Amino acid sequence: KQEVTQIPAALSVPEGENLVLNCSFTDSAIYNLQWFRQDPGKGLTSLLLIQSSQREQTSGRLNASLDKSSGRSTLYIAASQPGDSATYLCAVVVGDSSYKLIFGSGTRLLVRP
C-alpha cells in the first residue's frame, strides 16, 4: 500500500531564506509526482508535475526533484517571500485504472517578513 510522508509538518522561516520541503513514498511504482499549494480553506493549486522518467522540474523560484529508487522528492523554494506562506502537499499517481493521487499530509510554511 502506497504511503506518502512529508517532513517537516510545519516550518517557519524569515523572508529571503532558501528552503527545502521533503516528501517520501513507500512504493517506487509511480507514474508521476505532483506538488501542490493550498491556502487556508481553499482548493489546491498545482505547482509542478514530475514524470516518473524525469529527475526534476523548475518553475520560477521553485525546483522539484524526484528520486524514484529512494522514494524521495524535494521542493526547493528560492528567496522565500511572505506570499509563499501556505501548505504544500505532494502527491503520487499510482497505477490502477483510476490514476488517483495519493497525498501526504502537507508541510505548513510560514515566511515571516
Partner 1 sequence: DAGVTQSPTHLIKTRGQQVTLRCSPISGHKSVSWYQQVLGQGPQFIFQYYEKEERGRGNFPDRFSARQFPNYSSELNVNALLLGDSALYLCASKVQGGTDTQYFGPGTRLTVL
Q: 3-state DSSP call for residue 58?
A: strand
- In the complex with partner 1, which residue's Cβ is closer, 84 or 104? 104
The answer to whether 22 touches 90, Cβ cutoff 8 Å, is: no
For partner 1, the binding residues (CB under 8 A) are 4, 31-32, 34, 36, 41-46, 49, 51, 89, 91, 93, 96-106
State the greatest distance between any 2 C-alpha atoms of the chain, in Å, as a whole number.
45
Task: Kindly state the smallest distance separating residue 106's Cβ from partner 1, in Å.
Answer: 6
Task: Kindly state the smallest distance separating residue 52's Cβ from partner 1, in Å.
Answer: 9
